[in-house]
Amino acid sequence: MSKSNSAPNLSVVSNAPTDDARDTGFTTAAESELSRKFLEDGHVVVPVEDLGALDRLRDAVAGGATNWLDAKVPEDPGALLDSIHARVGPEKVNDMRMSIINGLNTQSWVARDYFSVARKTIESVVGNELAMQRRLNLSVQMPGDDSSVLPVHADVWDGNSPFEVVLWVPLVGC
Ligand SMILES: [Fe+2]
């Protein structure tokens, strides 16, 4: 074997379903279409599958914000989150965010509820042999705050798995 200083060729393997795989009958037409759209666009936007779970997650985030603000428990957690920018400035938003994240991740039920928000969709586009990130994350984007805006990116650029799916769950009505 001769030695070469040139970089080796990389094999790029796609896990996209072949046309044959689509005909096995293991997936419904709707699941196949969702998978096709995900592969074509890189994302899908779908209805929440478990509204109760979404409500619990939103209430837990609102509860975390309430604790951090040292405020009264809100009657309407959604309204609190929708107007949080009126109570927390951009310079403090990361402190609040980290406090909420740490509180959320002490709760044993949050991973289960987070998954149930989009379980069927994730299983359609990825499959059911899954591993989940240990800690949930929270992104807070205040109106007019450009300091929190990330440019368009793919997490794989930072070393995340190319087989990862990111699930964004909306907690405010914006
Ligand atoms: Fe990202």
Distance 104 CA to ligand 1 centre (A): 20
Quote the pLDDT of residue 147: 78
Domain range for 65? 47-148
Distance 65 CA to ligand 1 centre (A): 23
Distance 9 CA to ligand 1 centre (A): 28
Reading the chain (174 residues) residue by residue, the pLDDT tens digits are 445 567 777 666 666 656 555 566 778 899 989 999 999 998 999 999 999 999 999 999 999 999 999 998 889 999 999 999 999 988 999 999 999 999 999 999 999 999 999 999 999 998 889 999 999 999 998 888 887 788 888 888 989 888 889 999 999 987
Query: Cα separation of 119 and 49, whole Å?
Result: 7
Distance 68 CA to ligand 1 centre (A): 25
Quote the pLDDT of residue 102: 97
| DSSP assignments along 11-79, one per residue | PP---PPPTTGGGSSSS-HHHHHHHHHHHHHS------S-HHHHHHHHHHHHHHHHHHHT-PPPS-HHH
Distance 42 CA to ligand 1 centre (A): 13
**130 within a domain of the structure (yes/no):** yes
Distance 159 CA to ligand 1 centre (A): 11
Distance 109 CA to ligand 1 centre (A): 24
**75 within a domain of the structure (yes/no):** yes
Distance 160 CA to ligand 1 centre (A): 9
Quote the pLDDT of residue 74: 86
- The structural domain count of the chain equals 1
**166 within a domain of the structure (yes/no):** no
Distance 58 CA to ligand 1 centre (A): 21
pTM recorded for the entire structure: 0.81
Exposed e or buried b for every residue in 42-56, given b needs 16+ CB within 10 A? eebeeeeebeebbeb
Quote the pLDDT of residue 174: 73
**168 within a domain of the structure (yes/no):** no
Quote the pLDDT of residue 1: 46
**29 within a domain of the structure (yes/no):** no
**99 within a domain of the structure (yes/no):** yes
Distance 154 CA to ligand 1 centre (A): 6
Distance 2 CA to ligand 1 centre (A): 42
Quote the pLDDT of residue 173: 85
